[in-house]
Structure 1
Amino acid sequence: MEPLRKHKGIVALLDRSDIDTDQIIPKQFLNGINKLALGKHLFHDWRYLKDGSLNPSFELNQDYYQGASILLSGDNFGCGSSREHAPWSLLDYGFKVIISTGFADIFYDNCFKNGILPIRIRQDEWLLLAKEVMLQKRTIFTVDLEEKVCLTEKGKAVFFKIDTFRQKKLLEGLDDLTLTLQSHQKILCFEHNQQEQFPWI
C-alpha cells in the first residue's frame, strides 16, 4: 500500500446522499478478488447507458471531472453491504480521498485498509467546499494528512479529525498484512516458546 501524506488533485462533486455499495460497484462485478480493473465498473449503472455508451448526464462523465482523485460526496456514503470491492473500485478508478458528512462504518474502515482517506466534515464545511467546486467546475484541493487539513484553491481551509492509529497506517502505507509483519520476530519468538512449553501441541 502506498503512503498517503499530502495529496493534491482534481475534485469531483457527487451531490447524492445514501450512495450504497451496490451503486458503487454492482453485484455482477463481484465474481473475483482481483483489485485491478474494477475502476471501469465504478458507478456502472449511472455511468453507462443500456447500450454501453457513457451517460452524458452523469456527474463523473463531465469533461471537467476527468482525472479526479478526490470525491466530494453526499451523506452516508458507502452504506449497504460490506463488500470490499467498493473501495477497490474507487481506488482503481483513481480516487485517493473521499470527503463526506458521513460514512457507513464498515466502508469507512475498509477505506483505510486499502489506502483511501475518508474525511468526515460538518455540513456547513461540506457546503463551503461544494460551492467552490460548483462555481469553478474544475478545481483542485490539497489534502495534508499530517496537518489534517483540506485546502482549496481559493485558500479556504477545512480541518478534519482522524484516529491516530489510522492516520499512522496511511502515512506509512501500512495495510493489515504489512502491519502484522512488523511483529514477525515477536511472532516467531512466541511460537518458539509455545513449542518448548507445550511440545505435545
Structure 2
Amino acid sequence: MGYTLWGEPDSGSFMIEAALAEAGQEVHLIDIDLTKDEQHHAQYLAINPLGKIPALRFEDGTTIVQSAAILMALAEAHPQAHLLPALGAPDRRHALRWLIHVAAEIYPLIEVYDYPLRFAPPETAETAMRSRVRHRIRERWLLVEQAASSEGSFLLSGFSAIDLAIAAISNWAIGAEWRGKECPKLTRITENVANRPLVAPIWRRHFGAQEN
C-alpha cells in the first residue's frame, strides 16, 4: 500500500516528507490547498477533524496526525534511519524534550501569527498582536538556541528528526535576518538540513533554494 501524505508546499508536511526520504520510503503526496480552504472540506475533515496538515497514512492503513507524533512513529517504524535516538539511549530524553518543545510551544503560535483574528475579537489591532506573538515565538526559539549552544548538546551532535522540525518551523514568523543574527546554531541546523542529499530536492520544492 505504501505511505500517503496530505500536505502542501511550505508547510509542516515538509518534515514528514523529508523523514520518509531519509528512511528510504516512497510516498504518495496529496496536496491540500490552504488558500482554497480545502483543509475544511468534508473529505479531508474525515481524515483530520481539526482541519490541519499534515496527515500520514501508514503502510498498514493507519492514519495519524500531529507532526511530532508522526515523526516519532516513523522513527519507530524505520530505526535504520536514526530519526531519533534508540530506546534507552541517553540522548533520547533530550531528543523528545526538544521535539515536543518545538512542536507544542512554537508550532501552534505560527497559526496565531498568521491568523490573529481567529484568536481575538475583530477590533484587535492585527499588527500589534502579530508583534507580540512574534516576540513570544522568538523567546522560545532562543531557548532552543541556548540548548544547541551548550557543550555536548544533543542538538548539534548529528542529524535527527528534530533538525527537520527546527529547519521548517524556524522559517516562519521570526524573520530570516533575526534568526541568522540571534540564532546562528539554528541557522546552521537549517542549512545542514537544506543541503542533505535526500532532503535537498524536497526542501527546494517547499521553501526554494537555500541561500548561503
TM norm structure 1? 0.26
Higher relative contact order (CA 8 A, sep 6+): 1
Pick the structure with greater CA Rg. 1
User: Would you tell me which structure has more helix in proportion to its own residues?
Assistant: 2
User: Would you tell me which structure has more strand in proportion to its own residues?
Assistant: 1
